[in-house]
Structure 1
Amino acid sequence: MQFVLFCLLYPILYLISILPFRLLYLFSDFVFFLVYHVFGYRKKVVRTNLALALPHLSEKERLDIEKKSYQHLCDMFLEMMKTMTISTKEIQKRFVFTNLEMVKELEKKQKSIALMCAHYASYEWVISMNGQINYQGYAIYKKVNNKYFDDLVKKIRSRFKAYLITTRETRAVIENNERNGNHAIYGFASDQSPQIRPKTYWSKFMGIEVPVYVGAELISKKYDMSVVFLKVEKVKRGHYEAKLELLSDDVKSVPDFEITEIFNRKVEAQILEKPEYYLWTHKRWKHMGKKKTN
C-alpha cells in the first residue's frame, strides 16, 4: 500500500516541483483556500497556541496572524516540493546567508558545529548552505512513516550534500565521525515539544513552562562543538535571509542549560517580531501544567 500511494503521488509532486515560481505561488493561494477556509487544518490548535503565546494581542490581531501563518505554511510546503528540481544557483539566490564566513572561520578550528534553528520562516532551504562550506552537513529529522517517501526526502536533501539522520542515529553517527576525525555541521531544530521523562528539563517558552529539548547542548558539550544559532527572516515571498550568531565556541565552560535558554530567548524574539512566520500548527505547549514537583 505504501508503494502504491507513493506511485500515485510522486508524479503530482514532481509536476508541482517544475512549476515556475509565479505559478507555484498562484497554486499556493489555491491550496491556502482549501487548507484554511475549506478543511480548517489544525485551526483549533493554531488558535489555542496563538492565544497562549500572544495574550497581549487582540483577537482581531491574532486572527490576522493566523491567516498569514497559513499562507506562509502553504508557501513553505510547496517550496519543499520545489526542492526536488530547483537548481543550486536558484536556491542560493533565494536563501541568502549574510555572514557565511562565520562557519568558514569555525571550520579552521577543526571542531564540529551544532547549528540550532527553529521552525520559523524557511527551515527547509537551510540545506543550501552545504554547497558553500567545506564541512559535511547533517540534519536531525523525524523519519517519515512511508519508507518510499522517506527515501525521497533523503534523496532530495542529498542533492545539496545534506544527509538526514534520525534522533536515534544521531549519537552513533556523531561518535563515528568524531572518532575518525570527520568534523561536520549538525542541524538541530530544537523548538518542538519533547516527551516527558524523569530528567526532562523544563523552562518557560513564551511565558509558559514547558519541557525543552536539550539534545543540541548536551551533544555539543560531549564532543566540544561550536554552537551557532541560525536566524532566518522572510524578505518577501520565496526569498529569505539567514544570519549566523555564535552562541559559544567554548561550550564546556558554559553553565548547564544556558545555551538552551539563550536559544529559546532568541526564538521568542523572532516570534514576537513577526509571529506569522512561526509554525503554529505543532502542539508546542501540549505538556503545559504537567510538570511534577518533588
Structure 2
Amino acid sequence: MATTARPYAWYFEPVRWLLLGLAHLPLAVLYVLAEVIYVLLAYVVRYRWRVVTENLRNSFPEKTPAEIERTGKAFYRHFSQVVVEILKAAAISSEELRPRMHFTNPEVMTNHFAENRLVLALGSHMGNWEWLLNGAELEFPGRAAGVYKPLNNLFFEHFTRRLRTRLGADAVPMLATLRYMVAHRGEGRILSLLTDQAAGPEDRPYWTQFLNQDTSFYTSADRLAVQFDCALVYIGIQRVRRGYYEVTFSELPDGRVAKVAPAGTFPVTEAFARQLETDMRASPEQYLWTHRRWKHKR
C-alpha cells in the first residue's frame, strides 16, 4: 500500500515522537516542566537576558533596577509556560482548550460576519499567541485563518503548521496573503496578522513614539484595508491565571477611514500601536521581550 512521503528527513522522526509524547502529558505535568525551563532560562543559561533587560529599561524608564529585574523574571516564567502550552497544542482537545480561551465580546466579529466582511484581526506576541488561532476557530467555526512566516527547517515547519491547523483553522503563508484575501473577498472570515514586529527601511515603515522609543511598524494593514475594504479589529489577549486567557476585540479604523486619511498617515497602524502600548503597560511580563524589537533606527 502506498504511503505519503514525509516532507522532512527521516532522522527527525524520533524528535516528532518525543514532542508528541510530551504533548500528550497532562498540562499539570507540563507546567512542572515549565518551572524547570524557567530556572534554566532565567538563572542558568540567562537566555537573552541582556536583550530582555535592555528592552525593559528603555520601555519603562520610570522603573527601578529592582523592578526591571522582577519584571524580567516574571516574563521568563510566563514565557516558559507559553512554551509548554504551545507544545500541548499538538495534542490538546477542543473540549480542553475551549474553556481556556474566553472571548469576552464575540459579537464584534459576528456583526461583521453578518455583513459578509473580511476582518483583519491585528494581534501581537502578547499572552499565548499560538493558542489564539485555535481558540478563534473553536469560537467561530470555519472562519479563522492566520498569516505566518514559514520556517526554513522542513520538520519544524511541518510540526508548527500542524499545531495551528489541527483543530480546523487555516494557516496562510505570508506570501500567499493577497491570494487568500482575493479568494475570500466578501466572506465573513477572520484573517489574523501579528503586527508588532520591527519593520526595516525596505518595508516602508510607519514611525511613532511607542513605549518611550522611536518605533517602526509595518503598514500593510492600512494598505490591505483600503484595497479590500476590510473591517479592522485589535486582538487583546491577557492571561488571567495559569493556562487561561481572555480575548477582547476592539474596533480599529476600517478601510473607509484609511482610504481618506492624509498621505503619509496610517490610522490603522497608529491605533494598533496605542492599543498594544496600553496592554503592554498593564501586563509587561506577558509580552515577548527576547526579540530585538527596536533594532532599526529612523
Aligned-pair CA distance for 1:20: 1.2
Q: Tell me the C-alpha RMSD between the 2 structures.
A: 1.8
Alignment match, 1:276: 285
Q: 1:198 to 1:100 in 2, by over 3 A?
A: closer
d(CA) in 1 for partners of 2:113 and 2:225? 15
Give runs of aligned pairs for residues 71-220 of structure 1, distance below 5 A.
71-127=77-133, 128-134=135-141, 136-178=143-185, 181-197=186-202, 199-220=204-225
Alignment match, 1:54: 60
When structure 1 is superposed on structure 2, of 80-89 and 255-264 the one drifting more is 255-264
SS in 1 for 2:121: strand
Aligned-pair CA distance for 1:92: 1.0
Are 1:25 and 2:31 counterparts? yes
Alignment match, 1:265: 274
Aligned-pair CA distance for 1:198: 7.3
Unaligned runs of at least 5 residues, structure 2: 1-7
Which TM-score applies when normalising by structure 1?
0.92
Q: 1:11 to 1:135 in 2, by over 3 A?
A: closer
Letter in 2 for 1:112: L
Give runs of aligned pairs for residues 279-290 of structure 1, distance below 5 A.
279-287=288-296, 290=297
d(CA) in 2 for partners of 1:4 and 1:61? 47
- CA offsets per residue over residues 181-231 of structure 1, 9 Å max, x none? 544211011111022227332222212112211112211221011111111
CA contact (8 A) 1:65 1:275 kept: yes
SS in 2 for 1:279: coil
Alignment match, 2:255: 251
Aligned-pair CA distance for 1:177: 2.6
Letter in 1 for 2:285: E
Alignment match, 1:235: 240
d(CA) in 2 for partners of 1:147 and 1:198? 27
SS in 1 for 2:247: strand
d(CA) in 1 for partners of 2:17 and 2:236? 34
When structure 1 is superposed on structure 2, of 257-266 and 181-190 the one drifting more is 181-190
CA contact (8 A) 2:113 2:187 kept: no
Unaligned runs of at least 5 residues, structure 1: none
d(CA) in 1 for partners of 2:104 and 2:23? 27
**Percent of paired sites with the same residue:** 27
Q: 1:185 to 1:208 in 2, by over 3 A?
A: same
Which TM-score applies when normalising by structure 2?
0.91
